[in-house]
């Protein structure tokens, strides 16, 4: 059974935002952010995911801790950060449709924090905000069935991984398969599913956006529970992805390509046929005409290209 949600105009508009942001990054030949940006965003992800669950350690403290420095803090809070760091560090190895992976990931997240880390709950559970019950999870004997249905839906692949990641996030919070740590594993699993949409999404600190909007996050979970439909939560989660990705796009810088790298890229695109400078510029749309001419001239001098004709009428072909 497919989880209950609708593809609204807002969902479609937000997917377009995500695709445009990913397209801009693709146009910059960005396969991964610079190491310092990647490290900073990783820290923001780790700190925010733990902070949503009440961990008080700051970004500066988490940065210091992951650099091997000692920080002042309760042992439990330090362990929470170390566990989240390990779980996200192993993100590429988790299989989105695998119960075994889900249990292993929960085991990593909750290691040393609860006695049943990595095991499904066997008793009833409710979610409280203060003294108010905000969510009564399905009975324990239905948890396994709910997970099987969710993973079957994911394996069918009938829904975009971008949407599916957000829906799985909600469903894991709704089913509440573990006694504790459900929020942490749900946010992690959204990232696991989203890697199939674009590997770049693993470098985007969506959790930090959710942390900033935590009250809205919980309110839309409650509204979705009441409606029996997670569309409102889907719209929220997609919006967080789009906002985090656009922020990421403003921070990332393209890798500088050398002349030889550009020539090699042109070889793959143009093959052995004769081509003009205009064809080379279509391969490198952000390159100036003067730089293109210098690239081609250097490649001719190096014997990589043959040239016929002169100046604007010149044509080129790869020698091998």
Digit-coded pLDDT (tens) for 75-96: 999 999 999 999 999 999 999 9
Residues 40 and 108 in one domain: yes
Residue 1 pLDDT grade (very low, low, confident, very high; cuts 50, 70, 90): low
Q: What is the pLDDT of residue 132?
A: 72
Position 1 in a domain: no
CA distance 35 to 59: 17
- The C-alpha atoms of residue 7 and residue 231 are separated, in whole angstroms, by 8
- Mean pLDDT throughout 17-32? 71
What is the pLDDT averaged over residues 37-54?
90
Three-state DSSP class for residue 260: helix
Contact (Cβ atoms closer than 8 angstroms) between residue 224 and residue 231: yes
Nearest to 111 by CA among 60, 185, 47, 170: 185
Predicted confidence band at 217 (pLDDT cuts at 50, 70, 90)?
very high
Q: Are residues 86 and 138 in the same domain?
A: yes
d(Cα 201, Cα 291) in Å, to the nearest integer? 32
**Is 234 found in the same domain as 272?**
no
* Pairwise CA distance, residues 205 & 211, whole Å: 10
The predicted pLDDT at position 312 comes to 78
The CA-CA-CA angle for residues 121, 127, 132, to 5°, reads: 150
Domain identity same for 196 and 290: no
Same structural domain, 111 and 197: yes
Instruction: Tell me which of 251, 267, 284 is where a domain ends.
Output: 251
Separation between Cα atoms, residue 220 and residue 223, nearest integer Å: 5
Report the pLDDT value the prediction gives residue 311, as an integer from 0 to 100: 76
Show the domain range for 288.
259-318
Q: What CA–CA distances, in Å, run from 266 to 28, 30, 116, 293?
A: 16, 17, 55, 13
Residue 26: predicted pLDDT? 63
Distance from the Cα of residue 312 to its chain's centroid: 45
- pLDDT of 10 higher than 80: yes
Q: Which has the minimum average pLDDT: 109-113, 139-143, 281-285?
A: 281-285
Distance CA 112, CA 104 (A): 14
What is the reported pLDDT for 160?
95
pLDDT at residue 253, as a whole number: 61
Answer for the pair 251, 208: CB distance below 8 angstroms, yes or no.
Answer: no
Asked, for residue 3, whether it belongs to a domain, the answer is: no
Domain identity same for 183 and 163: yes
Using the predicted structure, report yes or no on whether residue 67 has a pLDDT greater than 80: yes
Q: Could you tell me if 287 and 226 lie in one domain?
A: no
Give the C-alpha separation, 269 to 282, whole Å: 10
Selected residue with higher pLDDT from 8 and 140? 8
Contact partners, residue 31, CB within 8 Å, separation at least 6: 255
For 243-270, what is the mean pLDDT? 82
Cβ neighbours for 27, distance < 8 A, ≥ 6 positions apart: 285, 286
C-alpha dist (Å) from residue 264 to 232, 272, 280: 47, 12, 11
Residues 312 and 209 in one domain: no
Domain co-membership, 293 together with 177: no
How much is the average pLDDT of 194-199? 91
Residue 24, pLDDT > 80, answer no
Is 207 in the same domain as 95?
yes
Confidence of residue 73 (pLDDT cuts 50, 70, 90): confident
How far is the C-alpha of 230 from the C-alpha of 301, rounded, in Å? 62
Average pLDDT rounded to a whole number, residues 110-126: 91
Q: Tell me what the mean pLDDT of segment 113-121 comes to.
A: 95
Residues in the chain: 320
CA distance 42 to 62: 10
| Residue 96 forms part of a structural domain | yes
Of 251, 274, 292, which residue constitutes the final position of a domain?
A: 251
CA–CA gap between residue 133 and residue 129 (Å, rounded): 7
Residue 124 and residue 140 in contact, taking contact as beta carbons nearer than 8 Å: yes
Average of pLDDT values for 271-292? 87
pTM: 0.76
Domain annotation covers residue 38: yes
Which CATH number goes with the domain that contains 159? 1.10.3290.10
Region 230-246 average pLDDT: 96
Question: Is 15 within a domain?
Answer: yes
The one-character DSSP state at 180 is S
Query: The domain spanning residue 291 has which CATH number?
Result: 1.10.10
Instruction: Say yes or no: 215 and 313 in one domain.
Output: no
Quick check: is 263 in a domain?
Answer: yes
Provide the β-strand partners of residue 275: 316
| Secondary structure of residue 305 in the 3-state scheme | strand
The reported pLDDT for the residue numbered 256 is 65
Q: Considering the domain boundaries, does residue 2 fall inside one?
A: no
25 vs 33: which has the higher pLDDT: 25
pLDDT at residue 285 above 90? no
Percent of the chain topping pLDDT 90:
67
Return the pLDDT at 53. 92
Average pLDDT of the residues in 278-289: 83
Question: How many domains are there within the chain?
Answer: 2
Mean pLDDT confidence for 135-154: 90
Mean pLDDT of 46-55: 94
Last residue of a domain, one of 207, 227, 251: 251
Would you state the pLDDT for residue 27?
A: 53
- Statement: residue 254 has pLDDT above 60: no
Residue 72 lies in a domain: yes
Residues 276, 188 share a domain:
no
The model's confidence at residue 39, banded by pLDDT at 50, 70 and 90, is: confident
Direct distance between the N- and C-terminal alpha carbons of the chain, in angstroms, rounded to an integer = 55
Distance between CA atoms of 172 and 168, rounded to whole angstroms?
6
Instruction: Please give the torsion angle defined by the CA atoms of residues 135, 55, 162 and 66, in that order, rounded to the nearest 10 degrees.
Output: -160
Q: Is 54 left (phi over 0), alpha (psi -120 to 50) or beta?
A: left
Q: What is the model's pLDDT at position 181?
A: 94
pLDDT of residue 28: 52
């Amino acid at each position: 059974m497919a989880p209950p949600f609708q593809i609204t105009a807002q969902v479609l508009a937000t997917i377009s935002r995500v695709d445009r942001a990913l397209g801009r990054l693709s146009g910059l030949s960005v396969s991964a952010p610079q190491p310092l940006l990647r490290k900073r965003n990783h820290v923001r992800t780790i700190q925010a995911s733990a902070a949503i669950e009440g961990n008080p350690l700051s970004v500066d403290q988490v940065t210091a801790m992951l650099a091997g420095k000692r920080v002042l803090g309760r042992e439990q809070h330090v362990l929470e950060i170390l566990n989240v760091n390990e779980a996200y560090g192993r993100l590429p190895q988790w299989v989105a449709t695998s119960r075994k992976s889900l249990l292993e990931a929960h085991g990593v997240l909750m290691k040393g924090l609860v006695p049943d880390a990595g095991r499904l709950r066997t008793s009833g559970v409710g979610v409280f905000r203060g003294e108010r019950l905000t969510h009564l999870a399905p009975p324990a004997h239905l948890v396994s069935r709910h997970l099987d249905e969710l993973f079957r839906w994911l394996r069918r692949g009938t829904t975009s991984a971008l949407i599916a990641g957000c829906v799985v996030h909600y469903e894991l919070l709704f089913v509440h398969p573990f006694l504790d740590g459900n929020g942490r594993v749900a946010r992690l699993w959204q990232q696991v599913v989203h890697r199939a949409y674009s590997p770049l999404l693993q470098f985007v600190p969506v959790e930090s956006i959710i942390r900033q909007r935590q009250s809205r996050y919980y309110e839309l979970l409650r509204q979705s529970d009441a409606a029996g439909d997670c569309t409102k939560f889907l719209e929220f989660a997609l919006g967080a992805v789009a906002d985090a990705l656009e922020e990421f796009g403003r921070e990332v810088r393209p890798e500088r390509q050398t002349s030889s790298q550009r020539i090699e890229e042109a070889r793959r695109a143009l093959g052995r046929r004769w081509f003009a400078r205009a064809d080379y510029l279509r391969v490198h749309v952000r390159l100036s005409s003067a730089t293109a001419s210098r690239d081609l001239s250097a490649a001719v001098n190096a014997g990589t290209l043959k040239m016929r004709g002169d100046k604007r009428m010149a044509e080129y072909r790869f020698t091998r």
